[in-house]
Structure 1
């Protein structure tokens, strides 16, 4: 099977795929129904499997997202289903989810805004003793994926809503322990990879002229929803390393504002705690 893998990797490299060998291995493992780590134990591939593999490689070379071809996206210890109409969760968002997980104690109330596929929400449900996780999404297409992915997690409640609505979840004001959000934040007009431009919903990617059109109301909403001492984490574009922490400070209701980099050293998310007083 080595020649087939080498040929596939070469095709993907010529197409500009960032990780051609890894993608080829994941695709053939998917076709064979085995973990990628077991490929070394497989010497041959049946003709029908080879045909399917070549078909998937051709689609990947056409820059269809790998996750769409696999049907799922790996995210921490869960694999939410993804496809047309929903944003594919990225590895860097695992850092934000991990930060939130560390601050979610037993019985906690957690809110995941701009939930999309529900990756953050189900990771929280999977790894913590949260009593209630509310996943908010406005896109009808994304809601279908969100409901599918959260159906196995009874603590997760899906809410169809717009995070820019100041009245959203008004019955929870001052009650939320942890609020996380991976909003659309790419400034309008920014060049994005073909996988994003052709397949991720634009409303889940672009956040207005400066990329902050959704983040601003999310910060205001977090200030209303969080209980005193509650935690907020918001992912942002790498051009927002100073802007988002400053917005949190300027709100006046947050302390311990902290900027965080991703694994490549780029600014990626900002966190804070709700003040203990009534400001």
Structure 2
């Protein structure tokens, strides 16, 4: 049974197992990923971040980025992007001297190349362009008295955001059971439940609270792209006078979101901390 090195890290409680595989020698099966992420019999994590050079992986071979974040959900499925994961990935590259962030750091993902810089909260990533889609979707969740309308938001991966009326309603949700979407998107979606702060905007910055059910994972303490999607949805609902800067409180902490003019249109940026917890070796079944 081969042994591999790993590092455990998290971004506002959204935790990952980082596996260095610079030259792309590993081919992890879905069962192996699930075993590593198992919180009772494995290391435990919301997903795997395989650290691999872009030229060594088919999805990133043509990208203008030395490193590729091969992100897998806890069930082994591949995902397009992870807003918390990419900050942890950048922290790992810097701490292991694989890269520096003196200049903007480019990292390849299945949603293209993302650029990271330092921020007051730790790292900020440009998630790129976004789409807010008003197509009808209804969300059923345990703890909600009636189904609620959802808001489609795409930030490189799909989200459905549901507005709730109170913190009590948010806390009453039972997200041990997967919420149901009608109609269900072909590839599924992350589902966010949000409550606006009172007041919603203070000193030009909007504020919301959020909980999330991540596809392929379950409820997590944080979801970076979900944080961005939630801010975009509430900004959309608030109308043209809504601010371009937001703070989003999740069970694992607080993250920042801002919208700026970028190449090809408006971009959404996410900022927050990244922490490396410990390193070790594990037998790969």
Q: Give TM-score scaled by structure 2 length.
A: 0.24
Higher percent of residues as strand? 2
Higher percent of residues as helix? 1
